[in-house]
Amino acid sequence: MATDTDLIKLYSGRILALASEIPHHERLSDPMASVKKRSPLCGSAVTVDVALTDGRVSAFGQDVKACALGQAAAAVTGAAVMGRTLAEMTQARDALRAMLKEGGPVPQAPFDGFEVLEPAREYKNRHASILLCIEATCEAMAQIAQSDCA
């Protein structure tokens, strides 16, 4: 069971700093795809807008209404997303999920900023909020890829 001291460690200064400096924090006016994801457990919600050029993220916007952990994860995602392919984003999402749920390693650069969220492994009820932004981004990119193949 988490103690107050554990929660203070979880909400470190680094997490709070990331949460207050989310890159690409405005919606795009003309995205190729938009996805909204919500965590029913805590009510956190993230909407991402994506545009791709030659299969790589060329524009990204996000509206984040989440706890500090979800905001920090959105900040890491936003800082690393530009120029990434769907395969790179999917690999980062899967690595983040494994880090949280299976004790896996921190995702590789440029997503190694997720290291700050390692203490959240012990808080399963926070995992969904942490994964919202990167999951929404992967889903939006997959929608674009699917429409390109149609």
Rounded distance, CA 37 to CA 99, Å? 21
Residue 3 has pLDDT above 80, yes or no: no
For each of the domains in the chain, give its residue range(s) and CATH number, in order of start: 4-149 (3.90.1010.10)
pLDDT of residue 9: 60
pLDDT digits (tens, 9 = 90+) for 117-138: 998 998 898 999 999 999 999 9
- For residues 17 and 10, is the Cβ–Cβ distance under 8 A? no
pTM of the shown model: 0.89
pLDDT digits (tens, 9 = 90+) for 44-85: 999 999 999 999 999 999 999 998 899 999 999 999 999 999
Q: Name the token pair of 58.
A: 């060329």
Place of tokens 């929404």: 136
Give the mean model confidence (pLDDT) for residues 94-100: 98
pLDDT of residue 4: 44
Residue 7 has pLDDT above 90, yes or no: no
Q: What crossing angle do the helices spanning 13-20 and 68-80 adopt, rounded to 10°?
A: 60
Q: How many residues does the chain have?
A: 150
- For residues 57 and 82, is the Cβ–Cβ distance under 8 A? yes
pLDDT digits (tens, 9 = 90+) for 28-45: 999 999 999 999 888 899
